[in-house]
């Protein structure tokens, strides 16, 4: 069992370096069953989600925080909530296949560039994601579809294609966000 503990410890160390882990190393004398049990206990409750500051947030509280960050950044709160719904379905611990993290699915390099130390922290993630959305809306003169295309596919892809890239994923993403936005804007 020492070998398994060493491997798990190394995996956790790597996850911690990439901001994917928020708990400490496993004690060397802990059994696999104890490790598994402790890990399961640390998984977030779907109704109340724990962040690094140990505060639990309900989905209505997350929506309220999203509205606050939207107001501060002068971005429509319905658009912010639509992005969150589409990106993570309000799961602050979501990780995409490409490595995007948190509510607004920030890529690791983007999070670092924004000074975000824990992209799974609800407030940090919202602050970063909404600031990106604001910048993109300004860059594309308030054109939601262009801003959303850049949010999803990247600004380089939008520039390269002189508009919304012809990617199926990006087109579906824009449609989902806009539909959610229209539903929330009522």
Taking alpha carbons only, the member of 121, 181, 122 closest to residue 151 is 181
The token pair at 113 is: 């560039």
Distance CA 71, CA 114 (A): 19
Taking alpha carbons only, the member of 139, 144, 134, 138 closest to residue 159 is 139
Distance CA 169, CA 22 (A): 31
Distance CA 182, CA 149 (A): 17
Give the number of other Cβ atoms within 10 Å of residue 173's Cβ. 19
**In 46-153, at which residue ranges do the beta strands (DSSP E only) sit?**
49-50, 56-57
Q: Which residues are annotated as catalytic?
A: 87
The token pair at 119 is: 């992209």
Distance CA 5, CA 131 (A): 41
């Amino acid at each position: 069992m020492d070998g398994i503990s060493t491997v798990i410890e190394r995996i956790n160390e790597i996850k911690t370096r990439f901001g994917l882990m928020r708990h400490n190393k496993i004690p060397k004398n802990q059994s696999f069953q104890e490790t598994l049990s402790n890990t399961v206990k640390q998984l977030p409750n779907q109704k109340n989600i724990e962040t690094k500051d140990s505060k639990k947030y309900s989905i209505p509280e997350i929506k309220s925080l999203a509205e606050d960050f939207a107001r501060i950044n002068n971005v429509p709160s319905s658009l912010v909530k639509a992005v969150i719904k589409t990106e993570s379905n309000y799961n602050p611990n979501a990780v995409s296949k490409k490595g995007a993290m948190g509510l607004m699915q920030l890529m690791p390099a983007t999070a670092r560039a924004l000074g975000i130390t824990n992209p799974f922290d609800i407030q940090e993630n919202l602050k970063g994601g909404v600031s990106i959305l604001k910048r993109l809306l300004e860059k594309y003169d308030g054109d939601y579809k262009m801003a959303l295309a850049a949010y999803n596919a990247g600004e380089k892809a939008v520039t390269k294609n002189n508009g919304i890239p012809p990617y199926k994923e990006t087109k579906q993403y824009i449609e989902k966000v806009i539909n959610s936005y229209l539903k929330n804007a009522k």
